[in-house]
Amino acid sequence: MPPKPILVPARLRRPPETGWSWVDRRFLREHAAHLSRDAVLLYFVLCAVADKHGLSFYADATLAALVRINLPALMAARGELLDRDLIAQETRCTQVLSLLPGGRRREPGGGLVQLGEILSRVAGLPQQNPERSLPGTSVCGPRFAAWPRSRSSPVGPFPAGSAARDTRWLRR
C-alpha cells in the first residue's frame, strides 16, 4: 500500500493530554444507518465526554443542550442506543459500551427481566409481548426510566440565549 499523504503536517491529530475519547469506526459501518440523527449525535457526544471507562455523568438537560434537542427527543435517542446495546444507563450515569465483535448484538434489554414480566409471573397472568414493553421498566441494570421533570426544567427547543442552551455553566 503506498504511503498516505499528510496534507497539513503541522496539524497532525494527537491524543489529548487530558480527557479520553474516541469513536470506534465500526459504529459507522454497523450501527449508524439503523439510528436516527439524534441518536447518532447523542452517541458522538457521549463518546466525546466519556472517561477512559466510557462513563459520563452529564444530566439530561445538559446532554439535550449539547445535542440541541428537547428532553423527549433525548429520551427517544437514548432508547435507540439502549436497544442497540451501545450504551448502559443508570440514574446518574451513562456508559458507552464496547461494540460486540462481528456485528453481534445482545437481545434488547440485555437479558434483563422486565417488571411487567415479573409481576405477570407472580400473579399467574399471561406473559406480555416484549415488543410492547415500555423502555426503562426493568427492575435493575442499564434500563432505568428518566427521572420526572420538575416544573422548572426545559421542555421544548431551547431559545437562543437561554440558560439551557448556554453551555458555559456546564464546565466539568
pLDDT in tens, 55-85: 999 999 999 999 999 999 999 999 999 999 9
pTM for this prediction = 0.57
Whether 97 has a pLDDT exceeding 70, the answer reads yes
Task: Tell me what pLDDT residue 38 has.
Answer: 97
Grid cell in block for residue 110: 440485555
Q: CA-to-CA distance for 153 and 8, rounded, in angstroms?
A: 45
Contact, 85 vs 93, CB < 8 A? no
Cβ burial 52-76 (10 Å sphere, 16+ → b, else e): eebebebebbbbbbbbebbbebbbb
Task: Give the CATH architecture of domain 20-105+140-147+156-167.
Answer: Orthogonal Bundle (1.10)
Each residue's pLDDT tens digit, 140-155: 344 444 444 444 444 4
Whether 34 has a pLDDT exceeding 90, the answer reads yes
Report domain extents, the chain. 20-105+140-147+156-167
Task: Tell me what pLDDT residue 52 has.
Answer: 84
Task: Tell me what pLDDT residue 151 has.
Answer: 41
When pLDDT is cut at 50, 70 and 90, the band that residue 112 belongs to is: low
Task: Tell me what pLDDT residue 139 has.
Answer: 37
What is the chain's mean pLDDT, rounded?
74
Whether 48 has a pLDDT exceeding 50, the answer reads yes
